[in-house]
């Protein structure tokens, strides 16, 4: 595409986001759209030693290492547990036509009300962003407000411009409306040696957890949750009954990770 065409797409994208924001949306629901109109400002929370010292705003997330016993560490005052929310729950909360939508929204709300910290990984966020953009382009799903409003305003854009405008809003949408924080942990992607090869730590962990006996995409969620124990993670929240039902006891026994599976549809 000619550079001027790219600029036109960008201007149309900004206008579309602005028009969506100026629609009749409740103030609490359109807060995240305002950020996109200003540009992609929201980022995953940095948790590296130096970045944490300088920028960490939420003191509720523990920063000390997991005890050797493998049991979840004691969370700080005010937080009864820290759950790793996988992409299946997040997508159900975003999509009103999903049979588990209401149950996912209510479950996340109840956990927050009971003091549970909800976090997810950049890997899970990538899955969510990819699936959301693909379905938005195809017009296959009905999204929850205010995401539905924004998707409708962006339909006239090219697929590339639509995704570039839509993806950044998901960070703030997840945190502001559902309380799920995307945690960026550089240690998950530090390079480690595996025999004569070198790979990212999260992949090394997944290789070591192959005995869990689950598909790779789900195994990577387990690897991420296991490596994020130092942030207080002691459970995985998922809507994936088929894959997690048969291994949940194994994960709790061997890794100290409790698996909570959303199985009921609430009215």
Confidence of residue 15 (pLDDT cuts 50, 70, 90): low
> What is the Cα–Cα distance from 181 to 26, expressed in whole angstroms?
22
- Segment 103-126, tens digit of pLDDT: 999 999 999 999 999 999 999 999
Q: Specify the pTM.
A: 0.72
Instruction: Answer yes or no: is 84 within a domain.
Output: yes
Considering its fold, how many domains does the chain have in total?
A: 1
Instruction: Answer yes or no: is 267 within a domain.
Output: no
CATH of residue 192? 3.40.50.1010
Instruction: Answer yes or no: is 38 within a domain.
Output: yes
Q: Say yes or no to pLDDT of 213 above 90.
A: yes
- Segment 165-199, tens digit of pLDDT: 888 888 888 998 899 999 988 999 999 998 889 99
Instruction: Answer yes or no: is 23 within a domain.
Output: yes
Listed in sequence order, the residues at least 6 apart from 46 whose beta carbon sits closer than 8 Å to its beta carbon are 52, 55, 184, 186
Instruction: Answer yes or no: is 181 within a domain.
Output: yes
């Amino acid at each position: 595409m000619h550079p001027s065409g790219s600029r036109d797409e960008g201007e149309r994208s900004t206008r579309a986001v602005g028009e969506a924001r100026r629609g009749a949306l409740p103030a609490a629901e359109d807060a995240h759209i305002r950020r996109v109109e200003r540009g992609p400002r929201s980022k995953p929370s940095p948790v590296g030693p130096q970045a944490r010292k300088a920028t960490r705003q939420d003191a509720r997330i523990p920063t000390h290492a997991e005890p050797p016993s493998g049991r979840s560490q004691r969370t700080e005052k005010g937080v009864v547990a820290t759950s790793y929310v996988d992409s299946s729950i997040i997508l159900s909360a975003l999509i009103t036509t999903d049979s588990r939508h209401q149950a996912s929204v209510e479950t996340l709300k109840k956990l927050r009300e009971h003091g549970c910290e909800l976090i997810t990984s950049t890997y899970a966020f990538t899955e969510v962003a990819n699936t959301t953009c693909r379905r938005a382009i195809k017009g296959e799903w009905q999204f929850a407000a205010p995401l539905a409003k924004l998707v409708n305003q962006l339909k006239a854009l090219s697929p590339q411009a639509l995704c570039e405008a839509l993806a950044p809003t998901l960070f703030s949408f997840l945190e502001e409306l559902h309380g799920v924080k995307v945690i960026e942990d550089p240690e998950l992607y530090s390079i480690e040696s595996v025999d004569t090869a070198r790979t990212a730590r999260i992949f090394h962990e997944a290789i070591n957890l192959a005995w869990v006996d689950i598909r790779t995409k789900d195994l990577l969620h387990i690897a991420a949750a296991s490596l994020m124990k130092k942030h207080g993670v002691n459970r995985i929240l998922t809507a994936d009954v088929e894959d997690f039902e048969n291994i949940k006891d194994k994960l709790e026994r061997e890794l100290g990770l409790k698996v909570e599976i959303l199985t009921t549809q609430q009215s």
